[in-house]
Amino acid sequence: MTIVLDRLKAYAGVAPATLVIGVFMIAPLMIILAYSFLEPNPYGGVRPTFSTGAYTKLFYERDLFDEMVFNATYLKITFRSLWIAAVSVIACLLIGFPVAYYIAMQPADRRNLLILLITIPFWTNLLIRTYCWILVLRDTGLINNGLMSAGLIDSPFTMLYSEGAIVLGLIYTYIPFMVLPIYASLERLDLRLIEASRDLYATKWGTLRQIVLPLAAPGIIAGSILVFIPGLGAFIAPELLGGGKNLMLGSLVQLQFSSARNWPFGSALAVVIMAVVMLTLMLYARNARKNGGGLQH
């Protein structure tokens, strides 16, 4: 009887969290999954008829003779999204790691101030922050006007509405997600290890490669995932800085639920994004489990 009561108390303790997760997370995901296997209503919504047409549309389309032919358009958008998200991760890592290392090497009282400065951009709405980049990158923006005033260029060069502008927007938006996990790993770094490596005549690169990077690996992996996942489904940066010319998966999903009114296809695209995210998280969990097992051994 006591064991049963203890179990009931344990279940009662997690019941509110389970209810919230079930209602606000699992249920919407199940609705999206169900919609992806239904037929679209021309005026929006879905028809309660089972169909795999949304997933077929990812790879095929009907030509003038009503025959199914291969269509690589959506695959290109998918690979573009993966490419831009991956480039953003690499750029955030190249910028964020030195920043996190510098902060971790500072005195404790100064670290808090530097971390506060890293989080300041989150105090402003993302839409406003992204729109400000338009004022900087456009042909009559701050960069072009400054270069022309200095006599370095005769005419403005195009920076806006390109994949580079999208990557820049994603880096600016998500780089704190890279800095903070790496800093959390480096903060626990024992400085005596670095001193020992110097006493053993290790070069700075050797110390970085053999001591700092292995200890910072959990933060690097966590930061990469935190940048890659939202970057893959980003909508605001591709829409504003890409000008709608360089579609990504997030923009394509929004397009299907608004002007195209093809809810099943939009749901299928969302399922694809979730599948990529789940695969990434599974690889991370497997790697973390492997490393954890090695440490315990």
pLDDT at 100 over 60: yes
pLDDT, residue 168, reads 94
Please identify which residue in the block is written with the tokens 């169900």: 34
pLDDT, residue 1, reads 61
147 occurs within a structural domain:
yes
Report the number of distinct structural domains present in the chain: 1
Instruction: Report helix, strand or coil for 183.
Output: helix
Please identify which residue in the block is written with the tokens 């370095």: 152
Q: Which CATH number covers residue 183?
A: 1.10.3720.10
Contacts of 61 (CB under 8 A, 6+ apart): 68, 69, 71
pLDDT at 297 over 80: no
Where in the sequence is the domain holding 159, given as residue range(s)?
36-296
CB distance 167 to 91 below 8 Å: yes
181 occurs within a structural domain:
yes
How many beta carbons lie within 10 A of that of residue 277, not counting itself?
Answer: 16
178 occurs within a structural domain:
yes
Largest CA distance in the chain: 85
230 occurs within a structural domain:
yes
Please report, rounded to a whole number, the percentage of residues in the chain having pLDDT higher than 90: 31
How many beta carbons lie within 10 A of that of residue 39, not counting itself?
Answer: 14
DSSP 8-state secondary structure symbol assigned to residue 123: G
28 occurs within a structural domain:
no
- Tokens at residue 247, please? 């579609």
How many beta carbons lie within 10 A of that of residue 293, not counting itself?
Answer: 9
What does DSSP say about strands 68-70 and 60-62: parallel, antiparallel, or unpaired? antiparallel
pLDDT tens across 46-99, in order?
Answer: 999 999 999 999 888 877 777 888 888 888 998 999 999 999 999 999 999 999
Residues facing 68 on adjacent strands: 62
pLDDT tens across 217-266, in order?
Answer: 889 998 999 999 999 888 899 989 988 778 898 889 988 988 888 999 99
11 occurs within a structural domain:
no
CB distance 122 to 176 below 8 Å: yes
Please state the pTM of the whole predicted model.
Answer: 0.85
Mean pLDDT, to the nearest integer, of 36-46?
88
Q: Measuring CA to CA, which residue among 65, 66, 82, 86 is closest to residue 74? A: 82
12 occurs within a structural domain:
no
Helix, strand, coil % over all residues of the chain, rounded to 5: 75, 5, 25
29 occurs within a structural domain:
no
